Amino acid sequence: MAISLAESVYIGLIDVSTRKVRTAVTLFGIVLGVMSIMVVLAIVNGMNEVTLDWMQQRGGLNKIQISMNWDYDFSRGGEATFSMREVDYLRSQLEDVEAFNPQVQAWGSIVQFRDSDFETSAMGVYPDLQKVEDWELEKGRFINLDDIRNHNNVIVLGSTVAENLFRNRNPLGQYVTLNKQQLMVIGVLKSKYWKNQGDGAFSGNVLEYMNRQVFLPLSTMIAKVNPNLKVSSIEIKVLPGKDISKVKRQAEDLVLNIKRGKQLFRVSSAQEEMQMMKKSMVIFTVIFFLIAMISLLVGGIVITNIMLASVKERTREIGVRIAVGARGKDILIQFLVQTMLITTLGGVFGIFAGIAILDVVAGFLDITLKAAPNMIWVALLVSASTGLIFGIGPAYKASKLDPVKALMED
Amino acid sequence: MEIIKTIGLIKDYDLGKVKVRALNGVDLTIETGEFVAIMGPSGSGKSTLMHIIGCLDSPTEGDYYLDGTLVSKMSRNELAAIRNAKIGFVFQSFHLLPHLNILKNVELPLMYAGLSGKQRSLKAREILDSVGLSDRLKHKPGELSGGQRQRVAIARAIVNKPSIVLADEPTGNLDSTSGGDILEIFERLHRQGNTMIIVTHDAAVAARADRIVQIHDGRIEDGD
């Protein structure tokens, strides 16, 4: 013997439609609150998408980097470099590794082709670099194990380097000069591109520096081009599905062991880097989250008051319902459903309003906002819960009315 | 068979410092199918008695058996079920829900009884037909005359086939013609075997009943 939910919804719909102005007033705070929540979610979502895209362009999230520890006091002795023996040892000890690339780097190298030259960052690398940094080839091939073993005089060019030295000509098979060594071009890389927001100092393609690099076999680089160079950083890609932080800890322990307890290197993961990037955006999220919470709170208090007034105004109706057999639960559900209908309706309007202002907010704050389907569910859930939280008091009051007194009310 | 039996009903109202005794030992028995008028001046306790008989209120002391069941000690929810199944109310000021059409108003007790929409509509139409309002189903109460509204209220009271119909000054807000119509419906319901209880201070209304119960200062004075 109970009134069904559908029945409560029906009663609620009639109530809402007969009290349009009141409903509209009640809706306002909820619309504002849900709208803000939509913006918050779009910011978070946009941030995630942007950072993820950024990380992916640079080789994905399962990347671990071993590089110099800037916090180490090098006056105490020690050098943040690895010998080839240490590199090989590290490679042999690490588990769950998909790709492993030790590298040496010569900044400010000049690469020449006939009468053109270009200032570049020359990298001595393993074939695995291609996997670690997700490089694709425009033409030719990348460095292979034979090149490493035989110290081949070969070079792979970044897209900007190739463009500057060769213009429209085909660079494959041509010889360029780097530090007096003749190197044959075996491949040209596809350019990497990632557009930063806004028009400040860091606008444009932030990954352009990668297109300005040239790559040689690590062995060739050390043996022939620049004998003074030592491996100063190692990039590792963890096998998909494997525990990245486990590999990271393993790498930390091994490096510390190799260097006899000296903290010469820092081991960092792309995941951590992403967390850092997200943190920098947290302030916007907090502000809009606060706006959302305050709007919902104010909206909720308005709802409580309006529902209390509604209960008072409808005392006789409640009395009649109780007289003909409604139990406390029926009345409670009726008012609760009505409140939740109103707030959910507000939520629906809020969703539309939120989507409508996303572009405005994105333009104003100069950040990427992105709507996602799950935002709609969150918004509906939040608006319905607001109705539940702020409607339960008035509904409870209605359910406890004394029918005798309620029927005598004018 | 006794449909109503009260033994030593006492009802006290606590008004802060003073306690008011509205009922002071009411013993009342009503047989199935009787048409009884409860009369008394205002403040006599007749409204309180009606609320207790109608299971809207519980006595402070004493027992009340409705249809053989002791209801005076029941919880709020149990009383709600009893009201829904066994009691039909007709009020002086009709107490229809203004934003529902009359069909929905009459369906109300059936809804709380848990009947499906189809069954409710069927029963409510049938009952409204019997009080001559089948052409007004979609009208709101505000669009009807006082007499028509009271007929809707009667339809609502009897749609659940209750054990008793309890009317509180049912003609109090009506002109004499409409009032007469309402009383005729009551007599007809009585002839059909319904137990009718009318609370009134109008002697002409009370005269229609089989039996008049006089209540004064919370006691029944004349029980025959």
Q: Do A328 and B77 touch (CB under 8 A)?
A: yes
Taken in order A9, A15, A17, A23, the sign of the CA dihedral is negative
In a domain, B15, yes or no: no
User: Where does the pLDDT of residue A196 fall: very low under 50, low under 70, confident under 90, or very high at 90 and above?
Assistant: low
What proportion of chain A, given as a percentage, has pLDDT over 90?
38
Is the pLDDT at A1 greater than 50? The verdict is no
What are the pLDDT digits (tens) for A243-301?
Answer: 888 999 999 999 888 888 888 899 988 888 777 777 777 777 788 788 888 888 988 89
Q: What residue has token string 């009585």? A: B190
In a domain, B1, yes or no: no
In a domain, B55, yes or no: no
Write out the H or E segment, with its range, that includes residue A39: helix A20-57
SS3 sequence, A90-107? HHHHCCCEEEEEEEEEEE
- Give pLDDT, residue B99: 85
Nearest CA in chain B to A316: B95
Residue range(s) defining the domain that contains residue B110: 37-44+75-222
Which residues in B lie closer than 8 A to residue A2 (C-beta atoms)?
114
User: Under a CB-based contact definition with an 8 Å cutoff, are residues A185 and A155 in contact?
Assistant: yes
Nearest CA of chain B to the CA of A394: how many Å? 19
For residue B101, the 8-state DSSP code is -
Is the pLDDT at B93 greater than 50? The verdict is yes
**B2-15 and B61-66 strand pairing:** antiparallel
Q: Do A18 and B56 touch (CB under 8 A)?
A: no
Q: Of A19-23, A104-108, B4-8, which has the strongest mean pLDDT?
A: B4-8
Q: How many domains does chain B have?
A: 1
Nearest 5°: the CA angle A4, A5, A8 is: 95
Nearest 5°: the CA angle B142, B148, B151 is: 120
Closest CA to A37 of A297, A382, A365: A382
User: What rounded mean pLDDT belongs to chain B?
Assistant: 92
The answer to whether the pTM exceeds 0.95 is no
In a domain, B9, yes or no: no
Higher pLDDT residue, A334 or A370?
Answer: A334
In a domain, B162, yes or no: yes
What are the pLDDT digits (tens) for B43-55?
Answer: 888 989 999 999 9
- Give pLDDT, residue B224: 47
Residue A395 Cα to chain centre, angstroms: 42
Q: How far is CA B7 from CA B4, B72, B201, B211, in A?
A: 10, 10, 24, 19
Is the pLDDT at A384 greater than 90? The verdict is yes
Helix axes A373-399, A20-57, angle to 10 degrees: 150
Nearest 5°: the CA angle B181, B186, B189 is: 125
Q: What residue has token string 């069941």? A: B69
Q: Which residues of A touch B (CB under 8 A)?
A: 1-3, 7, 14-15, 18, 316-317, 319-330, 403-404, 407
**Count of CB pairs separated by less than 8 Å, A with B:** 66
In a domain, B151, yes or no: yes
In a domain, B67, yes or no: no
Q: Which of A324, A338, A396 to mutate to test the interface with B (most CBs of B within 10 A)?
A: A324
User: A354 — phi, psi (to 5°)?
Assistant: -60, -45
Global ipTM: 0.94
Is the pLDDT at A233 greater than 60? The verdict is yes
Specify the CATH number for the domain of residue B174: 3.40.50.300
User: Where does the pLDDT of residue A199 fall: very low under 50, low under 70, confident under 90, or very high at 90 and above?
Assistant: low
What are the pLDDT digits (tens) for B18-31?
Answer: 888 999 999 999 99
In a domain, B23, yes or no: no
Q: Alpha helices, DSSP H only, in A366-402?
A: 373-399
User: B61 — phi, psi (to 5°)?
Assistant: -140, 165
Q: How far is CA B40 from CA A62, B5, B6, B221, in A?
A: 89, 20, 18, 10
User: What rounded mean pLDDT belongs to chain A?
Assistant: 86
- Give pLDDT, residue A197: 59
